[in-house]
Structure 1
Amino acid sequence: MSRSRVSFTQLFDQNREYWPETTAGVSLIAPAIYRLHEHLSQLANALFTAYGLQSAEFEALCALRTSPPPHQMTPTELYRKLLVSSGGMTKILVRLEDKGLIERPINPEDARSKRVALTASGKALIEEVTDKLLQQEAKLLARIEQPDALQQSLMQWLQQIEHS
């Protein structure tokens, strides 16, 4: 039995026929973005799984990689950046440390705490996974017309939402 999903167009057509109140005068932008998010998440999660990573681990490694060299931050800075709880962050850090992708050096500013630092293997892994993810995303983006115009519109919309 095939596990493919019903297309977005099919779903919209069914709504229009059987629940027309949900489609009359409604923009398809937000629902389309939700569905695109699902497709992009599936693509990313398949890649993360191939590298033995969970999406939260990938995000933590990215956050560390985008911090200034030597790619360190406090656990508090990291969990605020990722919008996870401190308990959730602890679990992520334990898994990453067990995999040898991060280390926990003493904080030179406060010896009672430890920092989170990207290891050489963690840096190499996040760069490789990110490169492959960007290549996969580029293939998807090559299918659309005027990607720059779409990007500009989406970024303007996002900035308006985040600043209100």
Structure 2
Amino acid sequence: MDVEKLKEGIIFHKKNSPKTYKKDIDLGVPIFVLHKNIINGIDRILNKKYEMTNIELDVLSSLVLGGGDECILSPTQLYDRLVFSSGGMTKVLKKLELKEFITRVENSEDKRSKLVKLTSKGREICDKALKEVVTYECQYFECLEKGEKENLKSILFKVLENN
């Protein structure tokens, strides 16, 4: 990525669109570009190596992190956690079931619905993919010293807490 061109573009737009740039909103552009680059890189890893999408990994991860010892959640719990529509979640769950990463099990509390359970194959692929994704994300910040990483993290959380 040509960072100098990005900086020049921000300066150009700031100069030529003074009404738009009344405040220092140019911080959002590098954050957006960084986010886009990281997500695109993760998508490439997941598609190429694991034949899965980011949302599929999110579902598997949610089962691991929120599904207790047996890694079981209801579809409603999953789409609430992932801010996803029920129709969209149904499509994702069908794909994961075809790949044998999840299975549907009886819901003892509600016979009308089935719960989603992570399979051992799903757990294995989730662990491998997550490890690779986290490694990839960390590479983006290797150029920062330890103190810079702490400052950046502190600043980002401060912004998040304020909104």
Pairwise TM-score range, normalised by the shorter structure: 0.7 to 0.9
The CA RMSD measured in Å over matched residues stands at 1.9
Point out 4+ residue stretches in structure 1 off by more than 6 angstroms.
none
AA in 2 matched with 1:140: Y
> Gaps (5+ residues) in structure 2?
none
Cα distance in 2 between the residues matched to 1:89 and 1:137: 26
The answer for the alignment partner of 1:26 in structure 2 is: 24
Paired residue total = 158
> Gaps (5+ residues) in structure 1?
none
Cα distance in 2 between the residues matched to 1:59 and 1:5: 31
State whether structure 2 residue 150 is matched by structure 1 residue 151. no
CA distance change for structure 1 residues 52 and 110 in 2, over 3 Å: closer, same or farther?
A: same
Aligned residue for 2:8, secondary structure, equals: helix
Q: Is the Cα contact below 8 Å between 1:8 and 1:35 reproduced in 2?
A: no
Cα distance in 2 between the residues matched to 1:5 and 1:56: 29
CA distance change for structure 1 residues 5 and 22 in 2, over 3 Å: closer, same or farther?
A: farther
Answer with 142-151 or 93-102: which moved more. Answer: 142-151
State whether structure 2 residue 64 is matched by structure 1 residue 62. no
Cα distance in 2 between the residues matched to 1:52 and 1:94: 15
CA distance change for structure 1 residues 111 and 24 in 2, over 3 Å: closer, same or farther?
A: closer
Answer with 25-34 or 83-92: which moved more. Answer: 25-34
Cα distance in 2 between the residues matched to 1:90 and 1:77: 13
State whether structure 2 residue 42 is matched by structure 1 residue 40. no
1:10-159 superposed matches below 5 A: 10-23=8-21, 25-50=23-48, 51-67=50-66, 68-145=68-145, 146-159=148-161
Aligned residue for 2:111, secondary structure, equals: strand
AA in 2 matched with 1:109: E
Q: Is the Cα contact below 8 Å between 1:59 and 1:82 reproduced in 2?
A: yes
Cα distance in 2 between the residues matched to 1:48 and 1:24: 40
Deviation at 1:136, TM superposition (A): 1.1
TM-score between both structures, scaled by the size of structure 2: 0.88
Cα distance in 2 between the residues matched to 1:24 and 1:75: 45
Aligned residue for 2:117, secondary structure, equals: strand
CA distance change for structure 1 residues 101 and 36 in 2, over 3 Å: closer, same or farther?
A: same
